[in-house]
A and B are shown apart, each in its own frame.
Chain A
């Protein structure tokens, strides 16, 4: 019966190890210490920012950000609401930023009189702004502009 104390010791070590690890590393996700089946305390809905001036780009060839609310603006099979203002036919009247020349190139870099269909879904690259604060600190600095 000499092995029983040894077994007991091993078990005690194991248990203390497990409980010790549990006490040390209490993980907390970004949504806070709330069980997954409950609503997060931080469930504020983000609101689109009001219309603002053009947002400077952070790096060369960054798709420009959308500086206005796009609530209710839909892109459907029949109609692209963005192009109602940003197309070259309409931009002068509406004062919107003109759709870039690159958007007229197909994937072989051939220029077309019409916008390339591969650019149809504007929001794949251009995104509207919400009042969501960054969840973690971000030290990113915009790259210097060409010639700076």
Chain B
């Protein structure tokens, strides 16, 4: 016992062994609790607890390959919308407090309001994914490991071209999990003056 006391640093003796142990355990509990709470907000069930998400984007996503597919492997909301790395994840979570604020304001609490805001909201996500080189896509889809011979003719032709041109996933793959905002595709007067979308470029506002 004497030898153990000798090994202790001076500050441990000052505050007492019990206090140190208590702080250590409290640290584990709080850090664990923080991570647990963070993970709770990183679940699909949490995302669609807001009707804004459940009635709009979640319904659209249910028709897509990331929700239902042959093997049942899924990409849920946070897989695409929350970075996996700790730092960027914290930044995104803090930004999300703005979303809580707008939830309280009711900015998008009807489908009409949501659709009116859709071009802006979509642009935010496109910009974010463009900026991080579609990191959330590439967490699963790594083009270094893509076997073009297994892809359809069209994908096999376009992918090497796009990669060589330095494009990132979101440049072409927009609106794959949710519906797109109105896009001007030069069909009659439909969506005239709205976003024009051409792959490889972030859609530019024409207005």
Contact = CB atoms under 8 A, between A and B. Distances in A.
- A and B associate: yes
B35 interface: no
A90 B65 contact: no
B126 to A, nearest CB: 14
B13 interface: no
Contact of B187 (A69, A76, A117): A117
Interface of B is mostly: loop
A58 interface: no
B175 interface: yes
A120 B190 contact: yes
Contacts of A78: 179-183, 191
A115 B190 CA distance: 10
Contact of A120 (B153, B187, B197): B187
A94 interface: yes
Contacts of B63: 72, 74
Interface in A108-131: 112-117, 119-120
B198 A114 contact: no
B112 interface: no
A94 B172 CA distance: 11
B198 A89 contact: yes
B80 to A, nearest CB: 16
A115 B183 contact: no
A50 B185 contact: no
Contacts of B197: 84
Report the interface size class on chain A.
Answer: 20 to 34
B186 A72 contact: no
A51 interface: yes
Nearest to B183: A79
Given A50-B152, A51-B154, A68-B153, A115 B187 contact: yes
Given A83-B187, A120-B190, A51 B179 contact: no
Nearest to B185: A83
Interface of B: 63-65, 152-154, 157-158, 175-176, 179-183, 185-191, 197-199
Given A83-B187, A88-B186, 13 more contacts: A51-B152, A76-B180, A77-B182, A79-B175, A79-B183, A87-B186, A89-B186, A89-B198, A90-B198, A114-B188, A115-B185, A117-B188, A120-B190
